[in-house]
Amino acid sequence: EVQLVESGGGLVQAGGSLRVSCAASGLTFDNYAIGWFRQAPGLEREGVACISNFDGTIVYKDFVKDRFTISSDNAKNTVFLQMNSLRPEDTAVYYCTAGTICSWLGKMYYYWGQGTQVTVSS
């Protein structure tokens, strides 16, 4: 059974930092792209960043470039999203997801975690 488990969310003040993690099990980690999406109340889910363990591709949405960094520890089957200079508008549930390629379309991914709440206070 494939499982993606997010952790590391929480409450932080604007300008602060958080690192969220996605631990994967039940899949061949090196063959997958791991994406981070987020969904704020009343808004559609949106892509944030993605890393492909298959070919090394890393992509970010413009609104997180230079603030967020995605990385992968293949020995631990874990992907991290380091979030710096956080803003209130970054408040959302953050989900990690696994698929064969990086895409901003959620339907391109096969597996999803349960999400972790990130709240940024002003």
Structure confidence at residue 21 (pLDDT) = 98
Q: What is the CA radius of gyration of the chain?
A: 13
**Mean pLDDT of all residues belonging to the chain:** 97
Instruction: Determine the pLDDT at residue 66.
Output: 94
pLDDT of residue 57: 95
Q: What pLDDT sits at residue 62?
A: 96
- Cα 93 to Cα 18: distance, rounded to the nearest angstrom: 13
pLDDT digits 0-9 by tens, 50-102 = 999 989 999 999 999 899 999 999 999 999 999 999 999 999 999 999 999 99
pLDDT at 5: 98
The whole-number pLDDT of residue 25 equals 96
Task: Write the burial class of residue 25 (CB in 10 Å: 0-12 exposed, 13-18 middle, 19+ buried).
Answer: exposed
Burial of 27 (0-12, 13-18, 19+ CB in 10 A): middle
Fill in the amino acid letter for 71: S
CA-wise closest residue to 6 among 30, 38, 29: 38
91, two tokens = 């408040």
Q: Taking the chain, what is the end-to-end CA distance rounded to the nearest angstrom?
A: 40
Contact at 8 Å (CB) between 61 and 71?
no
